[in-house]
Amino acid sequence: MPEPKPGPNWLARLYFAAAERLYADFAWAYDLASWIVSLGHWPAWRRQALEFARGPRILELGFGTGRLLLEMRRRGLNPIGVEPSASMQRIARRRLARAGLVVPRVRAVAQRLPFAAGSFQTIISTFPTGYIIDPAALCEIARLLAAPDPATGMGGRLVVAGLEVEPRHWLLRGILGLLFGRGPAEPLARWKQAAAAAGLGVVEVERPGHWVSVPLMVVYHES
């Protein structure tokens, strides 16, 4: 009998399902909900991803309410956004219009992205929903990242913020242990294995915090 494939337990699946509902049905509450659960740190955690962004072609997967797209344009970057939620698309469009900015946006899912191979130097995903653990999405990401330059060895990169939140307090550790079974290390290890299967190597960048830390995952084509 084949060994069952590892996967998130039922509470983790419930979490991903709730996140999907927030995106689809309660998009209007997303910014408030994220601010509350992070005690106001969510925007700073999200902006950390930009420290590793390299242009000129940057793709944001699951841009949500468009705040990071807005931030990138204000920094002089030229992002393209992908978001499957029609509600989030409307919110982002209005936010960008109020700021007098235009950012190309596409309604699509991460498993089927309408771009040519090697199109992007950077792909950003912050606090992603369940698509980030889908092997089909990881293969699409690997396809879209620019291949390594033979002269420098540098290629495109995926930057993920919020794939895990490391608790510093015992109560938070207990909650995440309940959610993920053995704590955050187990789903992270599974994700790294899935990334490796798609030809991607993962470098974890620590970000210290008082109560929690939100490490960044910088993902490259394996050489």
Q: What is the pLDDT of residue 184?
A: 47
Query: 């084509």: which residue's tokens?
Result: 221
71 Cβ partners below 8 Å, 6+ apart? 47, 50
pLDDT digits (tens, 9 = 90+) for 8-48: 444 455 556 656 666 666 666 677 667 676 666 778 888 88
**Poorest-confidence range of 116-120, 122-126, 173-177?**
173-177
Structural domains in the chain?
Answer: 10-221 (3.40.50.150)
Alpha helices in the chain (DSSP H): 10-24, 30-37, 42-47, 67-74, 86-98, 135-144, 170-180, 185-197
Of the candidates 137, 217, 134, 211, the one whose C-alpha atom is nearest the C-alpha of residue 176 is: 211
pTM of the entire structure? 0.79
Q: Say how many CA atoms lie within 13 Å of 68 toward its Cβ.
A: 30
Q: Is the peptide bond before 56 cis (omega within 30 degrees of 0)?
A: yes
Q: What is the pLDDT of residue 206?
A: 75
Per-residue confidence at 141, pLDDT binned at 50, 70, 90?
A: very high
Tokens of 46: 């999200």
Inform me whether the pLDDT recorded for 195 exceeds 80: yes
Tokens of 196: 């490796």
CA-CA distance, 194 to 27, in Å (whole number)?
Answer: 29
Pick the more confident residue, 11 or 109. 109
